[in-house]
């Protein structure tokens, strides 16, 4: 008979062999958590390797993503599409087994992890999504949404500040199907964490309103089973604290930082094999062990049972079933664009002076009535970000709402929204001041890396917010966001560009940041062709009769003063073209002919005007051009005074234009 310890040892041995072959990796966590993983995946986790996309599967997240070989070994043993060859190519180019797990549902990998603590935030988001969906769709005995979110964490995850943000909110919301399994081994890269991590974790999580199961032997399968059964009965989110030995099985390196982030070495691997009584060669698993690990049949039967339930649900609640399938399949409602197109048409024929944050709220009002899957939230700035609409209902413990008050938790909010999106069934948008994207930046980057469909609404986009001063006035933030791959950025100048920004953000199903003004902006008149060209990211908003002497490029609140400046230059006898560039990344993706039409190479004299750092714009104005930007921090004063101080006036734009022209 094959013991459970031997089944866990299969994880340990595969992990240390792959790490040794790569000569790179973290063997400590896979060796230390193997027993916990064996129990969770074989006894509790609801999943189907034959269909990793099954809607009602449990979600598993390895927040301590440096232990990635733990996950890859489990997926391989369970029957997912990760082969032994993939394990042998750990950390190699174009492999399915990169250094940290990367989002790939076809392989059974629910999310990208690596930056510690973010997996925990994503797990909270997935648990929220499960709870809202189940509340919306389940009827009586027809629990078509009924699954757990399991998160593995280590000491590092709980040291990161994001763990406080997300776990505090999770406790407030009583996410009882969120179970976090904590690998408490007291070792990090620098050594024993008792020198720098002496928090009372039990009291900390109890104060968050979590259930805490403490001092569980993480190497005794009976204790592990008992603790997980107990956690599943909790009415709150649950933290199970497993006491483990990092590098379990290594005679000379276990329980030390030496095993955390470096291969064991051939000699130590040989000794580990001997201690664990593992007699097989590298990258070899006996058929008997494979058979006991194989989850394909069990998973197939679990999904089959669920499908029978869903068939009955479909007969009894056909409309709900149809709506559920639409949302899970990421299908947009039919004709959803019509009311936005109507808004664009009406705005073009009834120009109003309003802020783009208010324009955004108008669009959210339209979308909220079309998209039941739209779920909003703000980091304690809802009245300033203008992210609520008439149908906004705060999500509380009963989960019947569609709006999350995240509190002052920008980083946690963004990671949670990533999890909500990745769970499926929702299009989340989250909001704060543009300045405070600095707190959320790593989660924004993760969203872009995973191509998560999330919409970031960032308001108070420049010195235009005025008296709050340089601590609140974004300068370099726009350029930083624009440099992030796979992230769409819009900085609209009025309600028409704002509407198209939102419409594009819904359609492209990629992460999108919409950057909005606090102050009211003058409306801009456009013809139908110009409105259609907004979708291309950059377009000619005002042209001249012949070849331009100079091209002025601008965005957002600075576009209007740039247009006024062009009129002054026209009166001085110059041919001036003005280009509105609300989305540089979308403009950059246009074909050569269009870009040449908007910004012909033959016109060297160009000026870019934007109330942010200037360096970014030289890619458009070139060496002979000029940028009117801000390369210092802001100041505390009324907005009109600040725009004058920093040169965003007709007088200064005309002066700089004449300097170039002459």
Instruction: Show which residues are catalytic.
Output: 410
Q: Which residues of 100-134 are buried (b: 16+ CB within 10 A; e: fewer)?
A: bbbbbeebbbbbbbbbbbbbbbbbbbbbbbbbbbb
Residue 385 burial by Cβ neighbours in a 10 Å radius (0-12, 13-18, 19+): buried
How far apart, in whole angstroms, are the C-alpha atoms of residue 171 and residue 167?
Answer: 6
Phi and psi (nearest 5°) for 354?
-140, 160
Helix/strand number for the chain, H first, E second:
27, 18
Three-state SS string across 460-493, please?
CCCHHHHHHCCCCCCCCHHHHHHCCCCCEEECCC
Residue 391 burial by Cβ neighbours in a 10 Å radius (0-12, 13-18, 19+): middle
Beta bridge partners of 458: 432, 515
- The tokens for 315 are 């007969």
How far apart, in whole angstroms, are the C-alpha atoms of residue 356 and residue 237?
Answer: 39
HSE of 254 in the Cβ direction (CA atoms, 13 Å)?
19
Among 474, 443, 625, 652, which Cα is nearest to 561's? Answer: 652
Among 421, 419, 414, which Cα is nearest to 378's? Answer: 414
Handedness of CA 104, 107, 112, 117 (dihedral sign): positive
- Give the C-alpha distances (Å, rounded to integers) separating 203 from 156, 175, 198, 335, 602: 18, 18, 12, 52, 68
How far apart, in whole angstroms, are the C-alpha atoms of residue 513 and residue 453?
Answer: 11
Strands 178-184 and 238-243: parallel
Among 405, 407, 380, which Cα is nearest to 393's? Answer: 405
Strands of 444-585, DSSP E: 455-459, 488-490, 512-515, 539-542, 550-554, 576-580
Among 387, 440, 385, 373, which Cα is nearest to 413's? Answer: 440
Among 516, 421, 527, which Cα is nearest to 460's? Answer: 516
DSSP one-letter code for 408: S
- Give the C-alpha distances (Å, rounded to integers) separating 86 from 96, 118, 649: 6, 26, 60
Residue 221 CA, chain-centre distance (Å), reads 35
Do the beta carbons of residue 221 and residue 35 sit within 8 Å? yes
Residue 638 burial by Cβ neighbours in a 10 Å radius (0-12, 13-18, 19+): exposed
């Amino acid at each position: 008979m094959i013991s459970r310890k031997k089944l866990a040892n299969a994880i340990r041995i595969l992990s240390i062999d792959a790490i040794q072959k790569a000569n790179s990796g973290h063997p400590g966590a896979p060796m230390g958590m193997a027993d916990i993983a064996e129990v969770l995946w074989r006894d509790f986790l609801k999943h189907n390797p034959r269909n990793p996309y099954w809607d009602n599967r449990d979600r598993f997240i390895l927040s301590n993503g440096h232990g990635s070989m733990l996950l890859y070994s489990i997926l391989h043993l369970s029957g997912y599409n990760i082969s032994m060859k993939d394990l042998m190519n750990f950390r190699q180019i174009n492999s399915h087994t990169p250094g940290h797990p990367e989002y790939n549902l076809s392989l059974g990998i629910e999310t990208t992890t690596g930056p510690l603590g973010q997996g925990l935030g994503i797990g909270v988001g997935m648990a929220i999504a499960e709870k809202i969906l189940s509340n919306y769709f389940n009827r009586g005995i027809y629990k078509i949404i009924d699954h757990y979110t399991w998160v593995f964490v280590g000491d590092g995850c709980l040291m990161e500040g994001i763990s406080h943000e997300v776990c505090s909110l999770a406790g407030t919301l009583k996410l009882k199907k969120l179970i976090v399994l904590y690998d408490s081994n007291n070792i990090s890269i620098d050594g024993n964490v008792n020198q720098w991590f002496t928090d009372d974790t039990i009291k900390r999580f109890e104060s968050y309103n979590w259930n805490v199961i403490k001092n569980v032997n993480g190497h005794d399968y009976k204790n592990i089973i008992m603790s997980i059964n107990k956690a599943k009965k909790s009415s709150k989110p649950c933290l199970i604290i497993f006491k483990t030995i990092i590098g379990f099985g290594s005679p000379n390196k276990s329980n030390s930082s030496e095993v955390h982030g470096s291969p064991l070495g051939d000699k130590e691997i040989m000794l580990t094999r001997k201690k664990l009584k593992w007699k097989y060669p590298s990258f070899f698993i006996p058929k008997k062990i494979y058979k006991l690990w194989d989850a394909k049949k069990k998973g197939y039967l679990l999904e089959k049972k669920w499908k029978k339930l869903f068939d009955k649900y479909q007969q009894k609640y056909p409309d709900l079933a149809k709506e559920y399938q639409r949302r899970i399949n990421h299908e947009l409602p039919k004709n959803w664009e019509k009311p936005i197109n109507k808004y664009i048409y009406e705005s073009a024929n009834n120009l109003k002076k309003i802020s783009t944050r208010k324009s955004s709220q108008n669009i959210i009002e339209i979308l909220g009535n079309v998209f039941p899957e739209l779920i909003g939230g703000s980091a304690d700035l809802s009245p300033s970000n203008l992210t609520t609409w008439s149908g906004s209902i705060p999500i509380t413990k009963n989960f019947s709402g569609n709006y999350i008050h995240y509190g002052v938790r920008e980083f946690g909010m963004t990671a949670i929204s990533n999890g909500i999106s990745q769970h499926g069934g929702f299009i989340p948008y989250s909001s704060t001041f543009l300045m405070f994207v600095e707190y959320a930046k790593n989660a924004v980057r993760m969203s872009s890396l995973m191509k998560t469909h999330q919409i970031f609404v960032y308001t108070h986009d420049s010195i235009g917010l005025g008296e709050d001063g340089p601590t609140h006035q974004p300068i370099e933030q726009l350029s930083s966001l624009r440099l992030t791959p796979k992230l769409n950025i819009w900085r609209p100048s009025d309600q028409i560009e704002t509407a198209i920004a939102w419409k594009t953000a819904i359609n492209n199903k990629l992460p999108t940041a919409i950057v909005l003004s606090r102050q009211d902006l003058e409306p801009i008149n456009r013809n139908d062709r110009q409105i259609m060209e907004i979708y291309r990211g950059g377009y000619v908003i005002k042209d001249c009769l012949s070849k331009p002497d100079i091209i002025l490029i601008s965005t957002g609140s600075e576009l209007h003063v740039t247009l006024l400046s062009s009129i002054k230059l026209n009166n001085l006898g110059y041919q001036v073209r003005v280009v509105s560039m609300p989305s540089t990344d979308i403009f950059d993706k246009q074909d050569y002919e269009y870009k040449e039409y908007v910004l012909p190479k033959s016109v060297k004299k160009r000026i870019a005007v934007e109330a942010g750092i200037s360096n970014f714009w030289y890619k458009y104005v070139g060496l002979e051009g000029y940028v009117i930007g801000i390369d210092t921090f802001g100041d505390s004063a009324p907005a009109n005074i600040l725009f004058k101080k920093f040169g965003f006036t007709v007088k200064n734009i005309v002066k700089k234009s004449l300097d170039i022209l002459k």
